[in-house]
Amino acid sequence: MTTEITIYPQPHNLSPYQQRQATAFDSINDNFFGNGGLNFKSVLDTVNPLQQLPGVSTVYRAMSNDTISSGSRLIGGALLGGPIGFGMALLNEIVSGTTGKDIGTHLLAAITDKYDSADSLVPQQQA
């Protein structure tokens, strides 16, 4: 006779910041190649140097509002950069999964002071 026990952690005394963070159950990526699955766009993103080269890819995605799936980023990193490229793509995916933005986007935001504005932190006064 076996007994199955499922434990779900219950948050206690979390700060408002911690309450807004995604939990492991909320951040599951069921589709490795994006919403459409493995299609022509995923294959094109995999071999497109504009989507794979560090720095170039960040500027390209910022200008074109294009996105890249996790699968395309990892496979393209391995194809174009070998083991080091795969490792860097994996690190980039870990950062992206944790913060919501990839490393290049964080660096672009730091350089262009796009996120330095504190206007969103200041409560707006009603007129």
Residue 47 CA from chain centroid, whole number: 19
For residue 120, the model assigns a pLDDT of 45
For residue 74, the model assigns a pLDDT of 92
Give average pLDDT by consecutive 10-residue segment, the chain, 127 residues.
65 68 55 80 88 87 86 92 93 88 84 59 46
DSSP the chain: --------PPP-S--HHHHHSPPTTT-----TT-TT-S-HHHHHHHH-HHHHSTTHHHHHHHHH-----HHHHHHHHHHHHHHHHHHHHHHHHHHHHHHSS-HHHHHHHHHHTTT---TTTSPPPP-
Which residues fall within 8 angstroms of residue 74, CB to CB, at 6 or more apart? 86, 89, 90, 93
* Count of Cβ atoms closer than 10 Å to residue 10 Cβ: 5
State both tokens at 98: 């944790």
- Parse the chain into domains and list their residue ranges: 47-113
